[in-house]
Structures are given as structure tokens and as C-alpha cells.
Amino acid sequence: RDERSLEALSLAASDGVAAVGRQLPEGRRATLASALELEGTVLREGRLTQFVANNLERRIRLSGAPRGEPPSAAGSGGSIPAIDPGALQDVVALAGQVAAQVDELLRNVHCGLQALTALSVGCIQTYRDGVESLGEAADLSIRAMYALVARCEELDRAMQPVPALAKRIRDMKGTLERLEGLCK
């Protein structure tokens, strides 16, 4: 890969119309996309373009170094700026506020989950009671139906002599009508 910086390639691309026909040593035109490709990996997915820089850690160290200082001094950790105690106190205070807010949020979530759990348990118990009541009602209905069938069978057995009795009554009625006819 070419070790030129991104700014140098961008400047080379923007040097105007004179550089339009010229190509880089690798055969690429000096455009922003090719400059990015020289400095890292460019991925394109539809309208989304992603760029991952090569040797990102070194670039971060270089960006933190003062302009005149060589990169080796920035990497050695020799020039660490002083930390502002007021800023640390502000960070500690904000962290305490965030911790309190997180605790409050977790308490609210806990209470909400307990309420939802209690509601779920109540629904399950109601469902269970309904199923038990339905089972008992179905059992009672089945028993009543069997009792009705048994009574109907008893009534049918008790009614078996009725056709013979009806025949005898018809015979008696016929005999009475004949007797009445003789009496007139």
C-alpha cells in the first residue's frame, strides 16, 4: 500500500484539472474513494459506505501527539496531560446521579414485574378455577343425563302393559256399544 496520507491524496485529487488524466502508481485515479482505499478498507452496501482504517491504534496515537513531536514520544506515554480535579468531581457526581437513576429505574422495573407476575398468577388461578368448575358442571350434567336415561328405561318398562290394557279397553268399549245397541 502507498504510505501517503489521506490529506495528501485528497490534495492531489483536488489539484485541479491537470491531474484528471494522471494515475497513481497502483493504477488508481486520485479520488476520495481511492484515497480511502489506500488508507484502509472501504465497504459499500447500497447507499451505505463503511471505512475501516489500517493500523487504527497508530493513527489514534498520532492524532493525540502535538504537531511538532515525533510519533514515538506520543506512543511512549511520556506527555500525559494533567487531569482537572474539578472535572473528576463532576464526573463522580454525574456517575452518582446516573447510579441513582439506574437504581430507581430498576426498582420501577422490579415493581412492574411484580405487578405483572401477580396479575399473571391471578389469571392462571381464575383459569384453573374455571376449568375445575366446568369439569364439575360437566360431571354433574353427565350424572343427571344417566339418571334421566335410567328413569326413562324404568318408565318404558312400566308402560309395557299399557298397549295390552288399551286393547282390553277397546274391546270393552266395543262390547258396551253392542250392548247399548241391543238395549235400544
pLDDT by residue, tens only, the chain of 184 residues: 344 454 454 455 445 434 444 444 444 444 666 666 777 887 888 888 787 778 877 777 777 766 665 555 444 555 677 788 888 899 999 999 999 999 999 999 999 999 999 999 999 999 999 999 999 999 999 999 999 999 999 999 999 999 999 999 999 999 999 998 888 7
**pLDDT score recorded for residue 18:** 40
CB 42 within 8 A of CB 20: no
**pLDDT score recorded for residue 3:** 40
Instruction: Give me 14's grid cell.
Output: 483536488
Containing H/E element for 40?
strand 40-45
- CA torsion, ordered 96, 100, 101, 105, to nearest 10 deg: 150
Domain ranges of the chain: 91-183
Q: Which of 116, 9, 6, 110 is nearest to 54 (CA)?
A: 6
